[in-house]
A and B are shown apart, each in its own frame.
Chain A
Amino acid sequence: MPPVLSPLPFPANLMTLANGLTIIHQHTPTPVAAVDVWVKAGAIAEPDEWAGMAHFLEHMLFKGTERLAPGAFDLAIERRGGITNAATSYDYAHYFMTTATQHLEETLPYLAELLLHAAIPDSEFGRERQVVLEEIHQSYDNPDWLAFQSLNEMVYQRHPYGRSILGTEEALMARSPAEMRQFHRAHYQPENMTVVVVGDMPKSAAIDLVSQTFQSFTPPLDCPRYVSEAEPPITDIRRQEIHLPRLEQARLLMAWIGPGIDSQSQNLDEQLQAAYGLDILSVLLAEGRTSRLVRELREERNLVQAIGSSFSLQRESGLFTISAWLAPEHLERVEAIICDRISQLSATPISEAELARCKRLLCNDYAFSTETPGQLAGLYGYYSILAHPQVATTYPQRLQAMQATDLQCLANRYLSPYHYAATVVRPLS
C-alpha cells in the first residue's frame, strides 16, 4: 500500500476553457517562450487498416491551410529566429516551438491555424507520402529499430502498441486525403488538446493569447476507431530470432509488460507507484558502471559491449526492457544470467545504499531534464495526455517514498524469469 502523499503545490497554472481546451502556463525568467501542443491523436487512435495515419497526418499538417501556403509556418517561425518540430507516438502527437518571447504573439496564430484548419491538400498528399516512405526505408536500414519493432510485435499481439507508428508502405498507399481529413477532424478537437506555454510571459497574457488563437475549431467528423481487443498476458517465454545482413554484433532484447496509467484494477497512485518503482529497477539493473548488469556483464566478465534497461510508461500498458549489444557466442549465457539477476530482485530486497543511489540518480535526472522552457512544456504536456498535468511534478516525491520491500513486490509481480519476450538479432552469415 503506497503511503498517502500530501499534495505539493503545482508550480504551473492550469485551466480548461469552455470548449474543453486545456491550457497550462508557467512563468520562467529566461526571455524565451516555448509552446507545446499535445493532442490525443497518436497511433492507438487508428483502426488497423489506417496504421500510420496519425504520423502521416503530423507531416501533412505542415502543408498549410486555405490561408497558409505549405512552408509558410516554418518560415514564419525560423525567420524570427525560432525553432519548431513535431513528433507522433502511440498515445499522442505533439507540436512544439520556441521563440524569443516578443515573437510569440505573432507566431502562435500560425501554429493554431495549422492544427485547427489543416487543408491536407490533394496535390501534396502523394508527395509527402514519399517522404514518409523514405522515413520507413531509413528505419529498415537501422538494426536497432528493426529489433525493437519486432519485440513490440511479439509483446503486443492484438494491441496497437505492437504496430509501427510509421505504418507500412502497403497501408499508406491505400489511404486517401479524404480519410485523413476525417481523422484530423475527429481527433484534433479542443477536448483532446492541451496547449502548454512556458516562458517569460505573464499568466493573463498567455491565457488570453491561447484562448483567442485556439478558437474556431471545425465541427467534428466521425471516423473509424480502434476497436480494443483483450491483450493476452505473457504466460511463457515468447522468443523470436532475426538475421540481418551487415550486422557487426548481436542484440538481445528482453521485455516484460508493466502497468500503464489507465487501469481497471488500481487507482492512479498505485499505477504511478508501480511505474516509478520499475524506473528504479531499470536504473538499479543497468544505469551506470556500478549498476548490477553493467558492472557484472560489461566491466567484470566482458560478456557485453553495452547493456541498458528502461521502463516506458504509456496509457494502456507499460514496457520494461533490457537490451544488450554483444558477440553472438555469448547470447544464451547472457540471457540466462539476466534471468537469474531478475529473480534475485524478487528474492532479496535491495540494499539501502543501492536504493539511495537509484533515487538520487533519477531525482537529479529529473532536475537536469527540466532546465529549459521547452523541456518543462514537454513534461506537462505528456502528463496532461496520460493522466493529469499535476502528476508531472510529483515524480521526485513519489520516488523518495519508495521502500526496498515495495520494489521486491513489484519485481515479484511484473518481472518473472519465466514469463517474458525475447528478440535475438544475429548476423546473417
Chain B
Amino acid sequence: MTLGIKQSPQTRTVLLNGMVVLIWENPSADIVAARIFIRAGSQWEAPQTAGLSHLLSAVLTKGTEQRSSLQIAEQVESVGASLGTDSATDYFLLSLKTVSADFADLLQLAGELLRSPSFPQHEIDLERRQTIQAIRSQQEQPFSIAFDQLRRIMYGDHPYALSGLGTEASVTQLERTDLQRHHQTHFRPDNIVISLSGRLQPDAAIALVEKVFGDWQAPATPLPVLSLPAITSKPVRAAIAQETQQSIVMLGYLAPAVVRERDETLGSGAIAASPLLTASMQEYTALKLLNSYLGNGLSSRLFVELREKRGLAYDVSAFYPTRLHPAQFVVYMGTAPENTAIALEGLKAEVDRLRTHPFDPETLQAAKDKILGQHALGKQTNAQIAQTFGWYETLGLGIDFDTQFQEQVRAVTVEATQVAADRYLVEPYRSLVGPSAVVKE
C-alpha cells in the first residue's frame, strides 16, 4: 500500500566543507521547515558529564559573539518564526520554521548560533538551575519514574541509561569550558546535515546554504570516534514504591540498533557496506513490525487483549525506537494497583505469544499495511519531512533508507519474525512503580 508521496528528497548535495544538504521542494503552503542535525547528542557523555549536550542546547540560543539572548529572541519572534534546539541521544538538533520570505534571514541567524555561540556565564547559570529543577520535576510523573528506572537497569553506565537532562550531581559540575569543548569537537560542517522542506527553489536554497555555511572550514583533525562498552542482557526486576492512583508496569528487552556494522574510520554515524548489513536490517525491520503489531493503534494486540477485552488499562502501548546503539523494545501499561501482577503477566504473555503463535498470512499482511500506512502518514507536514530525511541521513542510513525500509517491511516473512522474537524477546527487564503493597516482591 502506498500513498504515492514522493519517497526521497529532491536533491542531496554535499558542500566542499562536507556539510550534507537535503532539499525537498513542497510549494503547497507558504512554509519552510529546516532541521539542522549535528552528529553529537548525549551518546557522547560519560556519567560525570551527563546533561552536557542538553545544557548546550539550552544555552546555544542565548548569545553569540554579535548578539544577546534578547536580541536573538527578538529577531525570531518579531517575524513570528520558531527556532529551537534539542539534544537527543544520537544527535543535536536545531529546528527552524518560517514563512518563505523570512527564511533567508533566520537561516543566517541559525548559522551564527551554530558557528559562534558565546555561552554567556549568567545564561549558563540560569539554565543549569532550570535543568536541575526539571530533573527533580521528572519525579512527579509515575510514567517518567518507571521509564527512568527501566533505562537504568537496562543500560548501566552506557549513555543511553540517562534522560538527556543528566543528574543533579553531573549538571552541577558542568562548566563553560565543557560546553566550549563539546561545541568545538562536534560542531563542524563535515559533521552536519541540513534538511529543508517547503516553499523553496532548490538552486536558490543551496546557494543560500552556501552563503551561510560555505566558508565554515572543517578542522584538519579527523572526526571524533565514539567507542562505547558493549551491553549484555542481564534481565532484572526493579520496583519503586509510591502511593499513586495507578501502577505503571514496563517490560523491556534489549534489541538491535538500526544497523549493526559501523565503519569507525569514517566517523560516528557513517556505515560501511557490509554483508551483515542486510541481515541486521531484516532483524530490525522484523522487530519494528512486531512492536507495531503489539502496541501501535486501536487494533494492536495489547490494546485489544488487555484494554478492550479485559478493561485493565487506559494507556497500554509499545515502542522500539530507531537508534545508533542497542535499543529498547518496550511494552507498558498503567493499571489499577490491585491489577499489577495480572498486568505484568498479561504483557509478558503477549510477548511470549509472538514466539509460540506464528502469524497467519492475513495477520502478517494487516500488520505490514498498518505500519506502512502510519509511516507514510508521519510525513505529511514540512517539519515531518525535513525531520525524517534529515534524521536518516544523520544516522548514516542514506537517503534511500525510507524506500528501503518500506521494501524491507513488505519482505518480512513469518520465519523472520520468529527468529527475531526467539533471539531478542525471551526474558525481559521489569520496571514497576506503584503502591508498596503491590510492587514489592
Contacts and interface: CB of A to CB of B under 8 A. Distances in A.
Interface stretch (A27-35, A156-164, A216-224): A27-35
Contact of A364 (B99, B243, B382): B99
B374 A367 contact: no
Contact of B3 (A32, A248, A356): A32
B423 interface: no
B314 A100 contact: no
Interface residues of A, number: 68
A83 B373 contact: yes
Given A29-B28, A141-B244, A142-B141, A83 B126 contact: no
Contact of A32 (B79, B136, B313, B377): B377
Q: Which secondary structure characterizes the binding site on chain B? A: mixed
B275 interface: no
25 contacts: A30-B5, A31-B4, A75-B299, A79-B369, A80-B369, A81-B1, A81-B376, A82-B377, A126-B311, A128-B311, A131-B314, A132-B314, A133-B336, A134-B312, A134-B315, A134-B336, A138-B246, A290-B70, A290-B73, A290-B74, A302-B126, A305-B130, A305-B133, A364-B80, A368-B97
Interface in B1-38: 1-5, 28-31
B194 to A, nearest CB: 20
Closest 9 CB pairs of A and B: A81-B373, A130-B311, A360-B80, A289-B73, A364-B80, A74-B298, A79-B366, A135-B314, A127-B311
Interface string B36-80: 000000000000000000000000000000000110011011111
Interface string B311-327: 11111000000000000
B374 A81 contact: yes
A100 B78 CA distance: 38
Given A71-B308, A364-B99, A248 B80 contact: no
B377 A83 contact: yes
Given A132-B314, A138-B245, A246-B140, A78 B77 contact: no
A372 interface: yes
Given A81-B373, A134-B334, A247-B140, A71 B304 contact: yes
Contacts of B365: 79
A295 B73 CA distance: 10
Contacts of A85: 298
Contacts of B133: 248-249, 305, 327
Interface string B125-140: 0100110011011011
Nearest to B363: A79
B372 interface: yes
Contacts of A295: 70
Contacts of A130: 311-312, 336
Nearest to A287: B77
A360 B79 contact: yes
Interface string B380-423: 11100000000000000000000000000000000000000000
A75 B301 CA distance: 11
Contact of A245 (B74, B97, B243, B299): B243
Interface string A356-395: 1101111111011001101000000000000000000000
B74 A127 contact: no
B421 to A, nearest CB: 21
B81 interface: yes
A129 to B, nearest CB: 8
